[in-house]
Chain A
Amino acid sequence: MSLLDIHDLRVSFPGRGFRAAPVEVLHGVSLSVSPGETLGLVGESGSGKTTIGRAVLGLVRPSGGTIEFEGREIGGLQGRARRGLSDDIQVVFQDPYSSLNPSITIGDTLAEPLVTQGATRRDARARVRSLLDQVGLPSDAVERLPREFSGGQRQRIAIARALGPQPKLIVCDEPVSALDLTTQTRVMELLIDIQRHTGVAYLFISHDLTVVRNISHRVAVLYRGDMVETGAAVDVTSRPEHPYTKRLLLAAPVADPDEQRRRRTERKAATAASA
Chain B
Amino acid sequence: MTRRIEPVTKAVSAPSTESIATVQAAEVAASRTPIWKKLLRDPQAVITVSILVIVFALGVLTPLIALHGPNESDLSMVNAPPGTPGYPLGADESGRDIFSRLLHSINTAAIAALIGTGVALVVGIIAGLIGGYFGRVTRASTEWIFSLIMTFPGLLLLIILMPVTGGDYRATMLIFGVLLAPGIYRIVRNLVLGVKNELYVDAARVSGVGTLRILGRHVLTVVRGPIIIAAAFMVGSTIAVQSGLAFLGVGSLEVPSFGAMISSGFRNLYIAPTQFLWPSLLLGLITASLVLLGNSLRDAFEGSRPKPSKVGAGQHVAERAEDTVLVGADALLAVRGLRIAYPTPSGDLNEVVKGVDLEITRGEVLGLVGESGSGKSQTAFATLGVLPNEAVVTAGSILFEGRELIGLSDAAMRPLRGKEIAYIPQEPMSNLDPSYRVGAQLVEGVRAALPVSKKEAKERVLALLERCGINEPARTFDSYPHQISGGMAQRVLIAGAVASRPKLLIADEPTTALDVTVQAEILDLLRDLQTELGMAVLIVTHNFGVVADLCDRIAVMQQGRIVESGTAAEIFRAPEHEYTKALLGAILDEAAYRTDPPVAPAPEGAIA
Contacts and interface: CB of A to CB of B under 8 A. Distances in A.
B600 A199 contact: yes
Nearest to B521: A251
Interface stretch (B442-450, B488-496, B587-595): B587-595
Contacts of B593: 213-214, 233-234, 237
A180 B547 CA distance: 16
B1 interface: no
Interface stretch (B93-101, B194-202, B412-420): B194-202
A242 B176 CA distance: 67
B198 to A, nearest CB: 5
Interface in A145-165: 145, 147-148, 151, 158, 161, 163-165
A168 B372 CA distance: 34
Nearest to B591: A238
Contacts of A208: 516
Contacts of A148: 28, 32
A197 B600 CA distance: 10
B594 A257 contact: no
Contacts of B207: 86, 90, 112-113, 116, 161, 164-165
Contact of B590 (A86, A188, A197, A254): A254
B523 A253 contact: yes
A33 B515 CA distance: 26
Contacts of A120: none
Nearest to B21: A150
A234 B597 CA distance: 13
Interface string B537-550: 00000111111110
A139 interface: no
Given A38-B594, A253-B548, A207 B516 contact: yes
Contact of B546 (A99, A234, A253): A253
Interface stretch (B151-159, B265-273, B578-586): B578-586
Contact of A251 (B28, B32, B520): B520
Interface stretch (A4-12, A23-31, A100-108): A100-108
Contacts of B520: 250-253, 264, 267
Given A181-B583, A198-B602, A112 B204 contact: yes
A255 B602 contact: no
A19 to B, nearest CB: 13
Contacts of A151: 372
A229 interface: no
B435 interface: no
B607 interface: yes
A117 B209 CA distance: 9
Contacts of A198: 601-602, 607
Given A99-B200, A112-B209, A35 B598 contact: yes
Interface in B1-56: 24, 27-28, 31-32
Contacts of B605: 166
B24 A147 contact: yes
Nearest to A178: B372
Contacts, number: 200
A36 interface: yes
A147 B198 CA distance: 16
Nearest to B567: A257
B598 A214 contact: no
Interface in A101-144: 101, 103-104, 109, 112-113, 116-117, 130, 134
Contact of B545 (A98, A100, A130, A260): A260
B518 to A, nearest CB: 8
Contacts of A112: 204, 207, 209, 217
Contacts of B517: 44, 247-248, 251
Contacts of A147: 24, 27-28, 31
A113 B548 contact: no
Nearest to B28: A148
A63 interface: no
B598 A37 contact: yes
Contacts of A211: 588
B598 A182 contact: no
A93 interface: yes
B206 A90 contact: yes
Contact of B200 (A59, A98, A200, A255): A98
Interface residues of A, number: 87
B594 A87 contact: no
A163 to B, nearest CB: 8
Nearest to A37: B598
A57 B207 CA distance: 10
Nearest to B590: A254
A98 B200 CA distance: 6
Given A112-B209, A213-B592, A95 B599 contact: no
Nearest to A247: B517
Max count, chain A CB within 10 A of own CB: residue among B27, B542, B587, B594: B594
Nearest to A148: B28
A101 B218 CA distance: 7
B206 A57 contact: yes
A101 B572 contact: no
B114 interface: no
A197 B607 contact: yes
Which of B208, B523, B544, B597 has the most chain A CB atoms inside 10 A of its CB? B208
B599 A199 contact: yes
A248 to B, nearest CB: 6
Interface in A245-274: 247-248, 250-257, 259-260, 264, 267-268
B608 A35 contact: no
B568 interface: yes
B222 to A, nearest CB: 7
B598 A34 contact: yes
Interface string A195-210: 1111111000001111
Contact of A199 (B588, B589, B601): B601
A196 B596 contact: yes
B323 to A, nearest CB: 36
A95 B197 CA distance: 13
A216 interface: yes
B371 A181 contact: yes
A261 to B, nearest CB: 8
B545 A255 contact: yes
A268 B586 CA distance: 28
Contacts of B202: 57, 59, 91, 93, 99
A181 B213 CA distance: 37
Given A208-B516, A213-B593, A89 B206 contact: yes
A63 B481 CA distance: 31
10 contacts: A90-B207, A93-B199, A99-B202, A148-B32, A188-B588, A195-B599, A199-B598, A251-B520, A255-B548, A260-B549
Given A116-B209, A147-B24, 19 more contacts: A44-B515, A98-B198, A101-B218, A147-B28, A161-B207, A181-B586, A182-B582, A197-B607, A199-B599, A207-B516, A210-B588, A217-B594, A234-B593, A251-B516, A253-B548, A253-B549, A255-B587, A257-B572, A259-B548
Closest 3 CB pairs of A and B: A253-B545, A86-B208, A199-B601
Interface of B: 24, 27-28, 31-32, 198-200, 202-210, 213, 217-218, 221-222, 371-372, 486, 515-520, 523-524, 542-549, 568-569, 572, 582-584, 586-590, 592-594, 596-602, 604-605, 607-608
